């Protein structure tokens, strides 16, 4: 019987996949996650998700591997995970009072099929003053998150509006996962 393998060490992706009621194990991909800037951002993130799934699939050829990656973009810039707290504060300053895009790539790979797609959501941040930004950065919540915020945590209080899939913003579009597994008669 095929097992599901999540090609990630992200606690958020693990938590989200558990919400689907899927039994799985984690085996994080170890790849260079540099975004190919010569590609459209949606294609670049779709390719990263595919590369993660492909690398893990080499170790689990009898199983079904789920790979995902997420980027935040604003002003045609990609905001990845902040390098440090100062970088996080700079990202939040750029986002505050504005709308940005969150793009999550998804790849579900098995010996019979490769599903690869992206989900895009728009997020509008409320205005934040410098003190709010510093206080949020000090919580540490933004340290390992693209765009320097977590919508599911304290950062959610700064989100004024979203257009699109909430779970895309968290890093794993659950409905896309469910629909594809159902289409493959795996769920």
- Which are the catalytic amino acids? 69
Do 66 and 55 form a contact (C-beta atoms < 8 A)?
Answer: no
Give me the phi and psi of 120, to 5 degrees please: -120, 135
Q: Cα angle at 104 between 76 and 1, to 5 degrees?
A: 160
Q: Rounded to whole angstroms, how far apart are CA atoms 130 and 96? A: 10
Q: Rounded to whole angstroms, how far apart are CA atoms 14 and 27? A: 11
Q: Rounded to whole angstroms, how far apart are CA atoms 145 and 80? A: 7
Q: Rounded to whole angstroms, how far apart are CA atoms 122 and 73? A: 10
Place of tokens 């540490």: 140
* Surface-to-core class of residue 150, CB atoms within 10 Å of its CB (0-12 exposed, 13-18 middle, 19+ buried): buried
Q: How many helices (H) and strands (E) does the chain have?
A: 6, 7
């Amino acid at each position: 019987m095929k097992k599901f393998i999540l090609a990630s060490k992200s606690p958020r992706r693990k938590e989200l996949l558990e919400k689907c009621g899927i039994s799985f194990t984690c085996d994080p991909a170890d790849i260079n996650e540099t975004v190919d800037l010569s590609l459209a951002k949606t294609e670049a993130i779709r390719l990263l998700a595919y590369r993660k799934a492909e690398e893990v699939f080499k170790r689990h050829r009898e199983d079904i591997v789920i790979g995902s990656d997420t980027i935040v973009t604003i002003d045609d810039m990609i905001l990845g995970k902040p390098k440090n707290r100062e970088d996080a504060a700079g990202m939040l300053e750029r986002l505050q009072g504005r709308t940005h895009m969150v793009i999550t790539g998804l790849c579900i790979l098995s010996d019979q099929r490769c599903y690869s797609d992206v989900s895009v959501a728009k997020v509008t941040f409320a205005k934040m003053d410098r003190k709010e930004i510093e206080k949020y950065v000090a919580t540490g919540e933004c340290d390992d998150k693209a765009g320097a915020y977590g919508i599911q945590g304290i950062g959610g209080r700064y989100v004024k509006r979203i257009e699109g899939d909430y779970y895309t913003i968290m890093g794993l579009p659950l409905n896309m996962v469910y629909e594809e597994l159902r289409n493959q008669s795996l769920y």
